[in-house]
């Protein structure tokens, strides 16, 4: 009997085949649906296909494993079929109600697609399996990040918190408008990030958030503050003194540009 591996897809909030706490709760903006698709290629006759989900590998029933939580999603007669479940329904069928979404250990949800013969017996060697991870891990609260003022920006660095497969997000909110929508960084796996396009001279409250593999957020870190500055680099000095970009050097308004160009020459003369 030749069979194709079952394919699991996720649509919705975070299509990573990992259920997080908000997806388990079916929270607004975090709804996810899981689809299970299979194709059977066989020269051996089968009568139907049963699809099961379980918190135990192999999807055992209570007779063979009294601690298993296994449920049937139905039987199907087509060799190629798809069925689906929303995340809260999927978890409730293996004994995890919405009230338990944020308590307990992480869970591996096992999906078993079982071709059966006319007697309703599983055909030997034909079961296809797949898994979904239910991530209930909430990362520890990070320590306050280190904030260094930059040119219209803040450079933020931090100490990693304990945990595996974590990422981090930095949020900066104007100190004088704490209800404003924060400026957010992309989620990164490193320990530093640069937040650009900030207002010069305006103080910002900066917090760090740790994120688990499934997208569970830690509590925000204690607040650190920083104020972006303006850096008068070579280009700004040139523009400020009337320099004009013309595809080459301007012949007028050199000001600071001329002075900067002269300094290395003067230093060489003094050393000679």
Per-residue pLDDT of the chain (272 residues; tens, 9 = 90+): 456 578 999 998 777 899 999 999 999 888 899 999 988 765 667 899 999 999 999 999 988 899 999 999 999 988 888 899 999 999 999 999 999 999 999 999 999 999 898 999 998 888 889 999 999 999 999 999 999 999 999 999 999 999 889 999 999 999 999 999 999 999 999 999 999 999 999 999 999 999 999 999 999 999 999 999 988 655 555 555 655 544 444 444 444 444 444 445 444 444 44
pLDDT value, residue 252: 46
pLDDT value, residue 173: 98
Over residues 2-27, the pLDDT tens digits come to 565 789 999 987 778 999 999 999 99
pLDDT value, residue 96: 95
21-45 burial by CB neighbour count: b if 16+ within 10 A, else e? bbbbbbeeebbbbbebebebeeeee
Query: Given its phi and psi angles, is residue 22 left (phi above 0), alpha (psi -120 to 50 degrees) or beta?
Result: alpha
The structure tokens listed for 92 are 């409730």
Over residues 147-193, the pLDDT tens digits come to 999 999 999 999 999 988 999 999 999 999 999 999 999 999 999 99
If DSSP codes are grouped into helix, strand and coil, which group holds residue 24?
A: helix
CB contact at 8 A, 88 and 76: no
Strand order across the beta sheet in which 183-184 lies: 183-184, 167-174, 204-211, 224-226
If DSSP codes are grouped into helix, strand and coil, which group holds residue 51?
A: strand
- How much is the pTM? 0.75
CB contact at 8 A, 24 and 101: yes
| Bridge partners of residue 48, in order along the sequence | 116
107-142 burial by CB neighbour count: b if 16+ within 10 A, else e? bebbbbbbbbeeeeeebeebbbebebbbbbbbbeeb
| Residues comprising the chain, all counted | 272
Nearest to 228 by CA among 171, 172, 150: 150
């Amino acid at each position: 009997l030749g069979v194709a591996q079952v394919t699991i897809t996720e649509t919705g909030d975070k299509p990573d085949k990992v259920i997080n706490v908000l997806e388990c709760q079916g929270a607004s903006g975090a709804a996810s649906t899981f689809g299970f698709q299979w194709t059977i290629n066989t020269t051996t006759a089968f009568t139907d296909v049963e699809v099961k989900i379980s918190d135990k590998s192999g999807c055992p029933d209570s007779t063979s494993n009294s601690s298993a939580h296994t449920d049937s999603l139905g039987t199907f007669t087509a060799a190629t079929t798809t069925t689906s479940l929303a995340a809260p329904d999927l978890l409730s069928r293996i004994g995890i109600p919405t009230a338990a979404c944020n308590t307990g250990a992480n869970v591996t949800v096992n999906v078993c697609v079982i071709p059966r013969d006319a007697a309703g017996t599983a055909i030997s060697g034909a079961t296809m399996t797949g898994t979904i991870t239910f991530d209930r891990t909430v990362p520890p609260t990070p320590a306050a990040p280190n904030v260094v003022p930059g040119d219209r920006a803040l450079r933020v660095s931090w100490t990693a918190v304990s945990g595996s497969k974590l990422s981090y997000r930095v949020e900066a909110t104007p100190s004088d408008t704490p209800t404003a929508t924060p400026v957010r960084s992309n989620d990164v796996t490193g320990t530093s990030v640069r937040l650009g396009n900030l207002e010069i001279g305006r103080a910002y409250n900066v917090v760090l958030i740790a994120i688990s593999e499934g997208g569970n957020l830690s509590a925000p870190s204690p607040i650190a503050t920083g104020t972006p500055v303006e850096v008068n680099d070579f280009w700004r000095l040139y523009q400020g003194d009337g320099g004009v970009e013309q595809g080459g050097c301007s012949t007028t308004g050199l000001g600071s540009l001329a002075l900067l160009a002269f300094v290395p020459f003067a230093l060489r003369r003094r050393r000679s």
